[in-house]
């Protein structure tokens, strides 16, 4: 009985197979038409502009990657790491939320990257908006100031290491490296610089923790957490030396001229 039922279902599926193929073809036709339309203006061997749909696709992709671009192509990574290390050194894991650190880092990033943003707006976006240049030309123009900024912050050792991994050892001029090579070297340099600045900020507060711990042990108060006693002293020291101004000044001045 079961075998006969299965046989009937197989026959029904075999009869519906041609109809399924036709429906699948009809469903794929709009996608194929869009793909053909995207490349409608492409002529082999000729230099053509991107179609409107392709430009929209590129712009939407860039907008989707905007958070990653802000983190990787600017000094946002350096700022947020240093501020996070400062929070840990002060012992304010709960008193200084992540949103505050991210907001401060973003404001400092906008302050530092403002000249580059103005240059990209003037040289790339305005001509593109006025239909004087195409999207591909605008992207090439916008890439130049970003590359100069990244190379100015990138250490020579990091650039050589990434160039070796990418097989670009023979390139002697840093500006001639691929954009991905410059980006990877820039990220490594930013991480190194952030840890160096964070270490400098950590040392004074570490000394306070050691002194408080030694005093508590000498008084026999080993059950009392040193963080409870050292936190007011660290905050007092940070306020007396105007720590926020010093920290912001250190972060902004650590950006090399480009």
Does the residue 202 lie in any domain? yes
Is residue 47 one of the residues assigned to a domain?
no
User: Mind listing the pLDDT tens digit for each residue in 178-202?
Assistant: 999 999 999 999 999 999 999 999 9
Q: Determine how many CB atoms are found less than 10 A away from the CB of residue 113.
A: 20
Instruction: State pLDDT tens for residues 69-110.
Output: 778 889 999 999 999 999 999 988 878 889 999 999 999 999
Question: Per the domain annotation, does 9 fall within a domain?
Answer: no
pLDDT in tens, 217-250: 888 887 888 888 889 999 999 999 999 999 999 9
What pLDDT digit, counting tens, does each position of 122-145 carry?
Answer: 999 899 888 888 878 888 898 999
HEC-encoded secondary structure of 60-129: HHHHHCHHHHHHHCCCHHHHHHHHHHHHHHHCCCCCCCHHHHHHHHHHHHHHHHHHHHHHHHHHHHHHHH
Is residue 30 pLDDT above 70, yes or no?
A: no
Tell me if 22 is assigned to some domain.
no
Select the more confidently predicted residue: 256 or 188. Answer: 188
Residue 44 lies inside a defined structural domain of this protein: no
| Assigned domain for 49 exists | no
Instruction: Tell me what pLDDT residue 185 has.
Output: 94
In this structure, the number of other CB atoms found within 10 A of the CB of residue 164 comes to: 11
- In this model, does residue 147 exceed pLDDT 50? yes
pLDDT at residue 8 in the model: 53
Instruction: Tell me the mean pLDDT in the region 164-191.
Output: 90
- 213: domain range? 54-253
Q: Confirm whether 37 is domain-assigned.
A: no
Structure tokens at 43: 């002529």
Radius of gyration of the CA atoms of the chain, in A: 29
**pLDDT score of 21:** 38
Domain assignment present for 203 = yes
Domain count, the chain: 1
């Amino acid at each position: 009985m079961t075998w006969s039922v299965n046989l009937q279902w197989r026959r029904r599926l075999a009869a519906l197979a041609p109809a399924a193929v036709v429906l699948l073809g009809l469903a794929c036709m709009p996608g194929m038409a869009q793909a053909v339309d995207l490349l409608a203006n492409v002529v082999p061997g000729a230099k053509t502009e991107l179609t409107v749909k392709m430009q929209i696709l590129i712009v939407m992709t860039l907008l989707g990657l905007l958070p990653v671009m802000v983190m990787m192509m600017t000094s946002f990574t350096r700022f947020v790491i240093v501020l996070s290390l400062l929070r840990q050194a002060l012992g304010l894991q709960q008193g200084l939320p992540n949103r505050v650190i991210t907001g401060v880092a973003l404001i400092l990033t906008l302050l530092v990257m403002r000249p580059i943003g103005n240059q990209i707006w003037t040289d790339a976006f305005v001509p593109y908006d006025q239909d004087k240049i195409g999207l591909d030309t605008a992207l090439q123009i916008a890439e130049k100031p970003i590359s100069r900024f990244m190379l100015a912050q990138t250490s020579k050792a990091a650039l050589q290491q990434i160039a070796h991994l990418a097989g670009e050892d023979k390139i002697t001029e840093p500006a001639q490296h691929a954009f991905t090579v410059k980006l990877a070297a820039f990220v490594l340099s930013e991480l190194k610089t952030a840890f160096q600045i964070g270490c400098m900020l950590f040392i004074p507060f570490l000394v306070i923790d050691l002194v408080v711990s030694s005093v508590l042990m000498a008084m026999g108060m080993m059950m009392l957490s040193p963080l409870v006693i050292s936190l007011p002293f660290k905050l007092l020291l940070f306020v007396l030396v105007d720590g926020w101004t010093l920290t912001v000044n250190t972060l902004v001045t650590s950006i090399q001229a480009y």
